[in-house]
Structure 1
Amino acid sequence: MIMDALSLYDLNALVRRSIEQCLPDEFWVQAELSDVRTGNTGHCYLEFVQKDPRGNNLIAKARGTVWANVFRLLKPYFEEATGQAFVAGIKVLVQVTVSFHELYGYSLTVQDIDPTYTLGDMARRRREILKQLEEEGVLTLNKELEMPRLPQRIAVISSPTAAGYGDFCHQLQNNPRGFCFYTELFPALMQGDRVEESVLSALDKINARLPEFDAVVIIRGGGATSDLSGFDTYLLAAACAQFPLPIITGIGHERDDTVLDSVAHTRVKTPTAAAEFLIDSMNNAADELEMLAARLQESVRTRLLQEQRKLAAYRDRIPSAAYRRISAAKLALLTARKDMAQVVTSSLSRHRHRLELLQQRLADVSPEKQLARGYSITLKDGKVVKDAGLLREGDEITTRLHKGEATSIINRKVKV
């Protein structure tokens, strides 16, 4: 039996004394939180890890503790400064003391935290997501969509119980000019680790009914800013960037833009501001319509005045124009009457000449003329005899001469 052998407790006590002597100071340590649990006592128990950047394998791990008196101050300070929940998966820069307990072993006790380191890491992750979307050519696709002139049919992604959703609807329904908006809620979780999954599901439902909507509004009113990490994911950003309807975000975070804000068509600060944006769009369209109506009214008034002046000018010109037209008509009528008289006289003269010629011709062929030339007309019973064969012996005939008549009795006839 080896007499100088140490018990496990003695060895661990030796390790503890050695660590206390060698590492008495506080150290700033960069690590990732892999497990965060809060006990009933208010103490926070967590695990720090470091991964190999080349293979993502764990290369270091340590148990950590934030005592309740420190955790009460540290957690809200960190979450307020970063807008990030103090949860597993984030990278932190913490001030720790190194301790070793004979029973519980090696651990780090957190004394302080530097939010700027986590902010830098979050900003880096945002930049990486935005850079990836830019390289894929989809970063500005939603921004390039044209917002409808009258965005009245709105698909809303929000928690149904959120006060911000109620504020949004109230603002739309009570707009000063009484514009009608038609909203439909697509319920989604707006905080926690299921934000990405829930919002993506709502977008899929809207996408199946695209013709029914003009725009999509994603709102999250109130709540802790530490719940915004769900809006900084690649899948959600890529889906919104490529969504075929303009997306308006109003997730109640005024200080920093999330990745979702960066890819959306329009980013506003609050749900109420989202409603005001839609109302302003309607106001702009209504103002333009009123301006066009006023311009049309002025144009009509100007045109009417011009036409009235024209009518007055025409009215003033009517008497002189009518006198000229009547004078011209009279002149034309006189000319036509003169021409007509000439035409009638000429026509009568021609017809008179023709009648005279016809009269002369008739006179030349009249029986009197023929009788005067020595011809005679033989009549029987008052009818002209043209054929001697029709006469019989003993018939009485009358011969009409140029001067006088002679009556004869047929004694004989000669056949021709």
Structure 2
Amino acid sequence: GALNLAFENLKKKLQEEGLFDPSRKKPLPPYPARIAVVTSPTGAAVRDIISTIKRRNPLVDIRIYPCLVQGPEAAESIVRALQSANAHKKDIDLILLGRGGGSTEDLWPFNEEAVARAVADSKIPIVSAVGHERDAVISDFVADLRAATPTAAAEHAVQDLSVAIGSLERMAPEALYRTLFARLEKNTDRLLRLGEIADVRMGTVLDRADRQLEFLALKLRMSNPLNVIRRGYSVVQSEKGAWILRASDLSVGDRLMLLMKDGIVRCTVEEVKTGS
């Protein structure tokens, strides 16, 4: 019908302008601390998003930017909410834009050109999650990531905190060092029994394993930042995980992580002084 024709015409127009190109899509932050949710404040979508984010990481700050999601005034309302979120871009890491399912007419505001261009103009990465998996709207194509549902959008946006902590522990050189020795000790008896059956073969395997283990142990000891932390220092990383070595690399407002002997501290730079 007329709506389908309008959809295809706008889709073709924006595609020819390059608004769907993967090269223009912004990467999502791996650990967003502040997320803006642009949706109806009373719908099921906002409840699903909030509950999913809080379940996966209760430390995330959620900010609701309310808007209409259907009806003749919805497109303008969505644009205003996106612009309002972008006005606070220094305080927001990611935007979730969406609503629950509905008819083609219900979802139509997300097919409006004004909404598509507001999504494209956003300086903050946007995840679009409109309707259900079978639904596809123009904002999905323009957004930096399309999720099948609002719940899926929250899952894409926020990594499970327990998984993140587990990954950090596995990445820590000292933890890896302990794991290597624990595994070696656990398998000693099995290796010895196999050695009795095929002494020559297992002797070769064990020699190779010993050399590899010695190399890994030396490498881990040389690169272990925890040796520095134990002496009373802290290690500074940017929010994205980059090591910070100089004060001149920082700006006021930057968010940092301080890795200390007994935990991790998140902080924001209020003043930068360089020199001696």
1:250 corresponds in structure 2 to 129
1:163 aligns with 2:44: yes
1:298 corresponds in structure 2 to 176
Q: Contact 2:28/2:157 (CA < 8 Å) preserved in 1?
A: no
Q: Aligned equivalents of 2:162 and 2:131: distance in 1?
A: 24
Q: Aligned equivalents of 1:298 and 1:141: distance in 2?
A: 37
Q: Contact 2:39/2:99 (CA < 8 Å) preserved in 1?
A: yes
* CA deviation vs aligned residue, 1:96-155 (integer Å, no higher than 9, x gap): xxxxxxxxxxxxxxxxxxxxxx1xx43432332233223333333796211111023101
Q: Contact 1:142/1:243 (CA < 8 Å) preserved in 2?
A: no
Q: Contact 1:219/1:250 (CA < 8 Å) preserved in 2?
A: yes
**Number of equivalent positions:** 185
Over 3 Å counting, the alpha-carbon distance change for 1:219 and 1:256 in structure 2 is closer
- CA deviation after TM superposition for structure 1 residue 185, in Å: 0.6
1:124 corresponds in structure 2 to 5
1:152 aligns with 2:33: yes
Q: Aligned equivalents of 1:140 and 1:154: distance in 2?
A: 24
2:85 corresponds in structure 1 to 206
**3-state SS of paired residue (2:105):** coil
Q: Contact 2:31/2:159 (CA < 8 Å) preserved in 1?
A: no
Aligned partner letter, 2:64: L
| TM-score normalised by structure 1 residue count | 0.40
Q: Aligned equivalents of 2:75 and 2:175: distance in 1?
A: 53
Q: Which has the higher helix share?
A: 2
1:289 aligns with 2:172: no
Q: Which has the higher strand share?
A: 1
Q: Aligned equivalents of 1:143 and 1:169: distance in 2?
A: 28
Over 3 Å counting, the alpha-carbon distance change for 1:237 and 1:261 in structure 2 is same
Write the mapping of 1:66-105 to structure 2, written as runs, cut at 5 A: none
For structure 2, list consecutive stretches of 5 or more residues without a partner in the other structure: 182-212, 220-276
| Bigger relative contact order, structure 1 or 2 (CA pairs below 8 A, ≥6 apart) | 2
Over 3 Å counting, the alpha-carbon distance change for 1:222 and 1:126 in structure 2 is closer
1:189 aligns with 2:68: yes
Q: Aligned equivalents of 2:45 and 2:170: distance in 1?
A: 34
> What is the CA RMSD across the aligned residues, in angstroms?
2.9
Over 3 Å counting, the alpha-carbon distance change for 1:305 and 1:133 in structure 2 is closer
Q: Aligned equivalents of 1:283 and 1:206: distance in 2?
A: 29
Bigger mean CA offset, 186-195 vs 161-170: 161-170
For structure 1, list consecutive stretches of 5 or more residues without a partner in the other structure: 1-117, 308-416
Residue 239 of structure 1, aligned match among 118, 126, 135:
118
Q: Aligned equivalents of 2:153 and 2:104: distance in 1?
A: 18
- CA deviation after TM superposition for structure 1 residue 203, in Å: 1.1
Over 3 Å counting, the alpha-carbon distance change for 1:137 and 1:226 in structure 2 is closer
Q: Aligned equivalents of 1:225 and 1:185: distance in 2?
A: 25
Write the mapping of 1:17-416 to structure 2, written as runs, cut at 5 A: 118=1, 121-140=2-21, 144-175=25-56, 178-280=57-159, 286=165, 288-293=167-172, 295-299=173-177
**3-state SS of paired residue (1:174):** helix
**3-state SS of paired residue (1:226):** helix
